[in-house]
Structure 1
Amino acid sequence: MFKGFYTAASGMIAQQRRTELLTNNMANAETPGFKSDQSTIRSFPDMLMSAIDKEKVPTEDGLAVQTADTLGAVNAGLYMQEISANQMQGQLIQTDLTTDIALINGTLPVNEEGIQAAVFYLLQEENSEAQVYTRNGNFTLDGAGFLTAADGKYVLSADNEPIQVQTQNFRVNDRGQVFENDVLVAQIGVSVAENPDAQLLKQQNGVYYTANGENLQAADPNTYSMQQSFLEQSNVDAAKTMTDLMTAYRAFEANQKVLTAYDTSMQKAVSEIGRV
C-alpha cells in the first residue's frame, strides 16, 4: 500500500517540475534569442517482487530449503531525468534599430555523438573578467558609447575587448565586422559550444555560463552570419507550450486523486478493519 503513496507522489513531483519548466518558457516567449527548455521524464526501474518460502526436502533430518516464487514487477514511479535547451533558430523580425543584431546559424559542426554545436554572442560582466554568452541581440549603447546587452553586460569583440563607437550610425556586415565612417572598429565576438547542454548552464533572460568555468572557443566565421536591424525571436511555440501545460496539470491532478484514494483506504484500514 505504501508503495502506491511513493509512486503517486513521484508522479506529482515530476509533473510539478515540468510545469515550472513550461511556465518559464511561456514567460520568455517574447525574450529575443531565448531558447526553450525541454524535459525528459522516465520511470524508475521496476522492482521484481518474490514470495520467500521454505520447502521441506524428504530426508532423514528433515532438511528445509528456502525458495522464492516470483510474484511480478512493481513500478516505482517517475522522475525528470534531464533538461536540455532547444537550440533551433528563432524567427527574425526587422526592427530598424542599428543596435539590434541577429545572430544566424550557418553550417554548424556535429560531434561524434550526433550533437550539433551552437554559437553565442560573447559578453562580459561589468567590473569582472568573467565571460558569459547569449543569443539575445537586443543591444544598446551606454553613456560612454560601449555596445552592451539589455542587462548592461559589455558585448566583446573577437579580441575580448568591449566594443566602443561614437554614435548609433555604425554598420555591421554579415561577418560581424563593425564599421563607423567606413572605418573598421571591431569584430563582434562569437563563441561556439560543441555540446551546449554539457558545457553551458542557463541563467535568467537566456544568459549562459560555462559549467566548468572555462571560456568557450571562438567560432569559425564560416559557421554563422549576422544581420543588423533585425532580432532573433524566441523559439518558444506558445500554442504547444500551453497544450503541454494543460497536460502536465491534468497528470498532476490524476496523481493527486490516486494519492487521496490511497489515503482514504489507509484511514479505513486503521479505523474500521483495526476495530474488528
Structure 2
Amino acid sequence: MLRSMYSGVSGMKNFQVKLDVIGNNISNVNTIGFKKSSIQFQDLLSQTVSTSGANPMQVGLGSGTASLNVNHNPGSAISTGVATDLTIMGDGFFVVESEASGERYLTRAGSFTLDSEGFMTTAQGYNVLDTQGNPVQITPPGSDFSIDRLGNIVQENGPDPAIQIGMFAVDNPTSLRKVGGSMYELSNEEEIVISDANAIRSQIGSGLLEMSNVDLTEEFTEMIIAQRGFQANSRTITTSDEVLQEVVNLKR
C-alpha cells in the first residue's frame, strides 16, 4: 500500500520535470538558434517479494529520470536581408569569445551586429572569431562588405587573404552544456580548435537566421500526455490513501 504511494510520488515528480522541460521549449519557440530538450524516464529498482516458483515475483518502486537530451536538429531559416545575420547550412557552430574573461563558447544563433569599431559581436557583446582565433573586424568601419557561403568577408580594398568566419564541429552535440543566450560550452576538457566552413563540410548563409527547432504541435501533445500522467499518479496516491483509511477504520 505504501509502495503505491511512493511510486505515485515518483511519477508526479517526473511528470513535473517533463512539464518544466516543455514549458521551457514553448517559451523559446521564437528564440534564434534555440534547441529544444526532451526527457526520458526509466523504472526504478524492483523489490523481490518471492523467489519461489519458476519466475521471481517483484514489485516495482516507481520511475526516475533516465536522461535529459538536447535535440540539435536544425531549425528553419528565415530571411532578414541583413548581411551580418548568418545561418549555418549543415553541421557546426560559430565560435564566440568573451572579451572580459577570454572564455570561448559555441552558438548557432547568428544574429550578429557590428559595433562602432567594426567588430562583429553577438547580442550579448561576445566577439565572433575568425579562422585564426581573432575577433572579426570590418576595417574601415562602415565600409560595404558581403559574406560568401564559405564565410569569407568580401570587401573592396579589404585584407588579403579575406577574413574568414571561424567554425567548430562537434562529434557529439548532445554532450554540450547550455550556458544561456543560445550558447554552449564543451562539457569536457576538449579544446575548441577553430576551423572553417569548408573543412567541416558546411556552408554559411548571409541575410538568414536559424530559428528555434521547437514544434508547437509536438510540444502541446507532450503537454497533454504529461498532464494526464500527473493526474493518474495523483489518483494512485488518493486511492492508496483511501485504502489506508479503511484499514485504520477497521479498529472501530
Does TM, scored on the shorter chain, surpass 0.5?
Answer: yes
CA-atom RMSD in angstroms: 1.9
Kindly provide the amino acid, as one letter, of the partner of residue 100 in structure 1: D
**Is 1:145 aligned to residue 122 of structure 2?**
no
**2-structure distance, mates of 1:146, 1:221:** 20
What is the identity, as a one-letter code, of the residue corresponding to 2:209? L
Identity %: 29
The letter for the 1-side match of 2:221 is: T
After TM superposition, the runs of 4+ consecutive aligned structure 1 residues lying more than 4 A away are: 68-71
- What is the CA deviation profile of residues 11-53 of structure 1, one whole-angstrom value per residue up to 9, with x for unaligned ones? 11111111111111111111111111122212224333117xx
Of residues 181, 197, 210, the one that matches 2:174 is 197
Q: Please list every run of 5 or more consecutive structure 2 residues that lacks an aligned counterpart in the other structure.
A: none
Q: Please report how far the alpha carbon of residue 95 of structure 1 lies from its aligned counterpart in structure 2 after TM superposition.
A: 0.3
2:49, 2:57 within 8 Å by CA — same for their partners in 1? yes
Q: 1:57 is matched with which residue? A: none
Question: Matches of 2:68 and 2:151 in 1, distance apart?
Answer: 31
Aligned mates of 2:63, 2:243 — CA distance in 1 = 23
Deviation track 1:160-193 (CA, whole Å, cap 9, x = no partner) reads 1111111273211100111222524521111111
Indicate conservation of the 8 Å contact 2:39/2:65, yes or no.
yes
Three-state SS of the structure 1 residue aligned to 2:32 is: coil
Q: Which residue of 2 aligns with 1:135?
A: 108
SS in structure 2 at match of 1:239: helix
Count residues with an aligned counterpart: 245
Structure 1 residue aligned with 2:153, among 168, 172, 178? 178
Q: CA deviation at 1:213?
A: 4.4
Q: 1:249 to 1:219 in 2, by over 3 A?
A: farther
- Aligned counterparts of 1:123 and 1:246: Cα–Cα separation in 2: 38
- 1:166-225 deviations in whole A, cap 9, x for unaligned? 127321110011122252452111111111222x10122321011124433334633110
Query: Which of 62, 83, 90 is residue 75 of structure 2 equivalent to?
Result: 90
Shift of residue 157, structure 1, vs aligned partner: 1.0
Amino acid at match of 2:37: D
What do the CA deviations read for 1:200-256 (whole angstroms, capped 9, x no partner)?
101223210111244333346331100100111111111111111121111111111
Quote the residue 1:38 is aligned against: 38
More displaced, 78-87 or 164-173?
164-173
Distance 2:155 2:93 in 1: 24
TM-score (norm 2): 0.90
What are the superposed Cα offsets for residues 64-89 of structure 1, whole Å, 9 maximum, x if unpaired? xxxx5677221221112111221112
Equivalents in 2 of 1:2, 1:192: separation in Å? 50
* Secondary structure class of the residue paired with 1:264: helix
Residue 42 of structure 1 aligns to a residue whose secondary structure is strand
Q: Could you tell me which of 225, 228, 235 is aligned with 1:247?
A: 225
The answer for unaligned runs of 5 or more in structure 1 is: 52-67, 106-117
Letter of the structure 2 residue corresponding to residue 27 of structure 1:
S
Q: Is the 1:99–1:168 contact (alpha carbons within 8 Å) kept by the matching residues of 2?
A: no
Q: Which residue in 2 is equivalent to 1:60?
A: none
Alpha-carbon distance between aligned partners in 1 of 2:106 and 2:94, rounded to the nearest angstrom? 6
Q: Give 2:93's aligned residue.
A: 120
Pair 1:155–1:197, CA change in 2 (3 A): same
2: CA distance, partners of 1:136 / 1:34: 8
In 2 relative to 1, CA 71–268 (structure 1 residues): closer, same or farther, beyond 3 Å? Answer: farther
In structure 2, the residue corresponding to 1:253 is in which secondary structure?
helix
**TM-score (normalised: structure 1):** 0.82
Q: Is residue 2:135 matched to residue 1:162?
A: yes
Which structure has the highest strand share of the two?
1
Partner residue, 1:264: 242
Report the 3-state secondary structure (helix = DSSP H, G, I; strand = E; otherwise coil) of the residue aligned with 1:203. Answer: strand
